[in-house]
Structure 1
Amino acid sequence: MKRIMILGPCGSGKSTLALRLASLLGIAPVHLDQLAFAPGWVERSQADWLPDLQRILALDTWIIDGNDAGTMPLRLGRADTVVFLDFPPILCLWRVVKRIVANRGRTRSDMAPGCPERLDLSFLYYVATWNRGPRRRVEEKLAQANPMIVRFATPRALEDWLRSLAAG
């Protein structure tokens, strides 16, 4: 595993996994949200941040977490491994709510500067309805992909896998 994509619903732990894999494998993590957002939760034009992503993709090693549909084909074309955190939406919704409470008003390290954690009902709806739209689009793209896909349906299965990686 040298070029790793991490996908999954918001609240599944993509960024946390990226940091853990980075520590285990010695590969720098990249959080797509840091590229895609400007302060105040303003979505940057893809044309503005695509050159940065393309430079990262050209590297021999990377770990990239995030679901951006517009760049998924580019990332899939270079990834050798996709880790799909296929966790239930109710679990992810619970984790998002806990994250909002714990970090409200503060910008997390995996987010772009000036994007503090906040309560956003449309975002919560997106997380709750992940399986009805975003998940289907991710599955369609994965069906056309060549990299190894490692899928986890539970946090326990992910933890077991991480322990096996750490054990060598």
Structure 2
Amino acid sequence: MIRGRGGAGKSTLAAALGTATGLPVIELDEHFWGPDLEATPPDRWAVVQGELANTDRWIMDGDLGPYDVLDVRLRRADTVLLLDHSFPGCAWRALLRSRERADFWLWVWSWRRRHRPLLINAIAAHAGHATLHVLRNPRATARFVARELTRRT
């Protein structure tokens, strides 16, 4: 399970790990947001996640901030990767990627102060069995991928 601030590189990391491990990659944004960027209601989102996490092996990438329901996939995750990258780097990558709504920028700005502590608490409460890797910058993330590639060959 890959979490982190918008623009941190969650999808890029998921794709690299999917290639390295052969595990299926599930991009949560594809399942969560409706055609007009409307959020899936929390009760429905919990059901959808349960269906997505119903297999034994997967890589799920996504951090839906205040819209998310974490406990469903945290209970199933054996590994949690937390991309705790800086605001400037994430903001720059998000700007290069696409136009975003104001609520996205508020979430990206407040992620470390407001959302990260909630995530850490949720991991402790629902995924105490999982291995947690906190990757603080793109170099640490690249080293993690390199180690995984080396381990798999």
What range is the shorter-chain TM-score in?
0.7 to 0.9
Single out whichever of 145-154 and 123-132 deviates more from structure 2: 123-132
Higher helix share: 2
Alignment RMSD: 1.7
Deviations 1:104-141 (A, max 9, x none): xxxxxxxxxxxxxx342332232122122111211221
Contact 2:23-2:57 within 8 A present in 1 as well: yes
**Alignment check: 8 A CA contact 1:11 1:95 kept:** yes
C-alpha spacing 1:136/1:56, structure 2 compared with 1 (3 Å)? same
1:167 maps to 150
8 Å Cα contact 2:45/2:69 also seen in 1? no
- 2-structure distance, mates of 1:143, 1:21: 24
- Structure 1 counterpart of 2:132: 149
Letter in 1 for 2:85: F
SS in 2 for 1:52: helix
Unaligned runs of 5+ in 2: none
Once residues 9 and 57 of structure 2 are traced to their aligned partners in structure 1, the CA distance between those partners, rounded to angstroms, is: 21
Correspondence for 1:37: 33
Moved over 6 A (4+): none
Q: Report whether the alignment pairs 1:84 with 2:105.
A: no
- In structure 2, the CA distance between the partners of 1:119 and 1:66, relative to structure 1 (3 Å rule), is closer
Between the two proteins, the alignment pairs up a number of residues equal to 147
Query: Shift of residue 49 of structure 1?
Result: 4.1
Structure 1 position 71 matched with structure 2 position 69: yes
For residue 38 of structure 1, give the secondary structure of its aligned residue in structure 2: coil
CA distance in 1, matches of 2:59, 2:77: 9
1:88 Cα deviation (Å)? 1.1
TM-score by length of 1: 0.80
